[in-house]
Amino acid sequence: MNDYGKLKSGTDIRGRAIASEGKPAVLTEQAVSDIASAFALWISRRIGKTRCKIAVGRDSRLTGEAFTRTVIAALKYSGLEIFDCGLFSTPAAFLTTQFPSMSADGAIMITASHHPKDINGLKFFTPDGGVNSSELNEIIELANAGEKLSTISVSTIVRRDFMRLYCDAMTDAIRKGTGLFLPLKGMNIVVDAGHGAGGFFAKRVLEPLGADTSASQFLEPDGTFPAHPPNPENAEAMQSLKSRVTESGADLGIIFDADVDRCAVVTSDGTEVNRCRLIALAAAMILPEHRGATIVTDSVTTEGLRRFIESRGGVQKRFRRGYRNVIDEAKRLCDSGVDAPLAIESSGHVAFAEHYFLDDGAYFIAKILITFANLKKQGKDLTDLIADLSSPLEEADIRLNFTCENWRELADKIMPRLNGLAERLLRLSEDNYEGVRAYVSHADGYFIVRTSVHDPVLPIYIESDKVGGARSIARFLYSFLNGFTGIDCSPLAEFIGEDEIAENVEGYDVAP
């Protein structure tokens, strides 16, 4: 009996695929084979068909090609119709189930998003969307038991360039939205794919629309990700794009993560539009057509963003971190009669109701390009849409690593104790759905402490409108968290300043 439950990460399978740092690979070819076989059986039982159609694709990770061969080999004698799509994006994986020319019953995407090169994983899709947590549990149970489709006949394996269909749909949408065949003619647009799967966007979407993409960078797939982490949240990645945009005099810069389900942009003046700015931009684009609508976001957003959305006639609902949590909440609201056309995480996952509630970075960029081209006609830029978004005077985004094996148990001790402390000494947020969000009056700010969805990390976000307020809040948290064994508080100490810790923290009697 296997124990593939250890590979579950939210709604994905994820694990070390290459032995490194003295640790063995846990996402082995055998594991991939067993789990892929279980997914095929699960799909077959779900739809009541033995000859199902399953699409398989990957991003640029080092083990991607090998795992693709493993998946296809595992399904070779199951009597299926298999589409080998090669290098493509996670959103494209889902869309293989929607495009009539393919109409796949399910799809397997081999990716680990922005994670380091030694990690890989599997994402699964049906025509209803990505599998949820309970559905993934069912697949894992089948894999643990070694269950698979019976050998009935050799599967049909067809190589399909699905990205051609996907890119054609993008260019058609942009032409329709602008009313022009070459809406980007004369524009210099930089694409940074971070050596992931997003390099297609420059050559197969932007250039057919007239854009000059010659200043683009890191378009070639390379699973070692030598340039920078393929992550729109990463400061190094955003700085790299910003430098390229300003040095080349580009009109716009675009960045994707490795599997293209997340994105961000940089405007011509070097303004980084990611995190809360990206949410504000999406809200500004959608709310004119959906007056009074609810925008569902994750919890790590600023008070300025809430005010921005409300100033546009919208309502912000902060929800649990995790793109599936945000998307599922927006779907639930829509099902209950609430207009919730947009679900968006500050990490760059953006999903529109009009597009299957699919977090598709390329689709959002297509919508941004339509807006961008139309604003250009008026002599305006994207920054004009979010000019009144206020930013905090001080903010900090700090991640503390757990140093113990039983880190989830430790997190389960920390969070309720911190919540109780904040309830006694501070003011808890009334619209929080995860972790602890509390307001600190003397610092004119607040903090959010939560447990990472996937990793042994305790992320902390601090915002303050008072000089020195962020460090004051950090000292409060340090005095509490430093009392626990099994968590590295040195990033907090570094932010505060070693010389300030002994002098100032002693005033807080908040030890656990």
CATH of the domain at 261: 3.40.120.10
Whether 485 shows a pLDDT value over 70: the answer reads yes
Q: pLDDT-based confidence at 323, cuts 50/70/90?
A: confident
* Statement to judge: residues 355 and 490 lie in one domain: no
How are beta strands 263-267 and 252-256 bridged, if at all?
antiparallel
Whether 507 shows a pLDDT value over 60: the answer reads no
* Statement to judge: residues 273 and 347 lie in one domain: yes
* Statement to judge: residues 421 and 377 lie in one domain: no
Whether 411 shows a pLDDT value over 60: the answer reads yes
Most confident option among 14-28, 96-110, 498-512: 96-110
Tell me what the pLDDT averaged over the chain comes to: 93
* Statement to judge: residues 201 and 271 lie in one domain: yes
Residue 88's domain comprises 4-160
**Structure letter (DSSP) for residue 369:** H
Whether 82 shows a pLDDT value over 70: the answer reads yes
Most confident option among 303-307, 335-339, 493-497: 335-339
Using one digit for the tens of pLDDT, what is the confidence trace for 434-484?
889 999 999 999 999 999 877 899 999 999 999 999 999 999 999 999 999
Using one digit for the tens of pLDDT, what is the confidence trace for 346-362?
999 999 999 999 999 99
* Statement to judge: residues 423 and 366 lie in one domain: no
CB neighbours of residue 403 within 10 Å: 12
3-state helix, strand, coil in the chain (%, to 5): 40, 20, 40
Q: Is 512 part of a structural domain of the chain?
A: no
Beta strand ranges found along 309-405 (DSSP E): 315-319, 342-344, 350-352, 358-359, 394-401
How are beta strands 294-298 and 342-344 bridged, if at all?
parallel
Q: What is the pLDDT of residue 505?
A: 41
Q: What is the pLDDT of residue 501?
A: 60
Q: Which of 464, 509, 512 is nearest to 487 (CA)?
A: 512
**Structure letter (DSSP) for residue 83:** E
* Statement to judge: residues 353 and 411 lie in one domain: no
Provide mean pLDDT across the span 306-324.
93
Provide mean pLDDT across the span 202-222.
98
Whether 196 shows a pLDDT value over 80: the answer reads yes
CA dihedral 373, 374, 377, 380 (to 10 degrees): -90
Query: How many structural domains does the chain have?
Result: 3
Q: In the sheet where 394-401 sits, what is the strand order? A: 394-401, 457-464, 445-449, 436-440, 427-428
Provide mean pLDDT across the span 419-440.
89
Whether 425 shows a pLDDT value over 60: the answer reads yes
Provide mean pLDDT across the span 264-284.
96
**Structure letter (DSSP) for residue 330:** H
Q: What is the pLDDT of residue 22?
A: 85
Whether 248 shows a pLDDT value over 50: the answer reads yes
Which single residue is written with the structure tokens 């447990």?
451
Q: Is 196 part of a structural domain of the chain?
A: yes
Q: What is the pLDDT of residue 83?
A: 97
Q: What is the pLDDT of residue 153?
A: 86
Beta strand ranges found along 418-477 (DSSP E): 427-428, 436-440, 445-449, 457-464
* Statement to judge: residues 144 and 192 lie in one domain: no
- Using DSSP, how many helices (H) and how many strands (E) does the chain show? 15, 22
SS3 (DSSP) at 213: coil
Q: Is 511 part of a structural domain of the chain?
A: no
Q: pLDDT-based confidence at 512, cuts 50/70/90?
A: low
Last residue of a domain, one of 386, 412, 427: 386
Structure tokens at 35: 């789990």
* Statement to judge: residues 104 and 172 lie in one domain: no
Q: Is 510 part of a structural domain of the chain?
A: no
| Percent of the chain scoring above 70 in pLDDT | 97
Last residue of a domain, one of 386, 421, 436: 386
Last residue of a domain, one of 160, 178, 199: 160
Q: Please calculate the CA angle 350-280-357 and round it to the nearest 5 degrees.
A: 20
Q: Is 352 part of a structural domain of the chain?
A: yes
Q: pLDDT-based confidence at 320, cuts 50/70/90?
A: confident
* Statement to judge: residues 122 and 269 lie in one domain: no
- Rg of the chain over Cα atoms, rounded to whole angstroms, equals 23
Q: What is the pLDDT of residue 509?
A: 46
Q: Which of 323, 278, 285 is nearest to 302 (CA)?
A: 278
In order of 178, 412, 447, the CA distances from 407 in angstroms are 51, 9, 21
CA–CA gap between residue 432 and residue 420 (Å, rounded): 15
Whether 189 shows a pLDDT value over 60: the answer reads yes
Q: What is the pLDDT of residue 500?
A: 62
Using one digit for the tens of pLDDT, what is the confidence trace for 128-167?
999 999 999 999 999 999 999 987 788 999 999 999 999 9
CA–CA gap between residue 101 and residue 164 (Å, rounded): 12
Whether 107 shows a pLDDT value over 90: the answer reads yes
Q: What is the pLDDT of residue 508?
A: 44
* Statement to judge: residues 233 and 378 lie in one domain: yes
Task: Read off the pTM.
Answer: 0.89
Q: Is 327 part of a structural domain of the chain?
A: yes
Whether 504 shows a pLDDT value over 60: the answer reads no
φ, ψ of residue 298 to 5 degrees: the values are -80, 180
Residue type, 157: I
CA–CA gap between residue 5 and residue 292 (Å, rounded): 42
Provide mean pLDDT across the span 121-131.
96
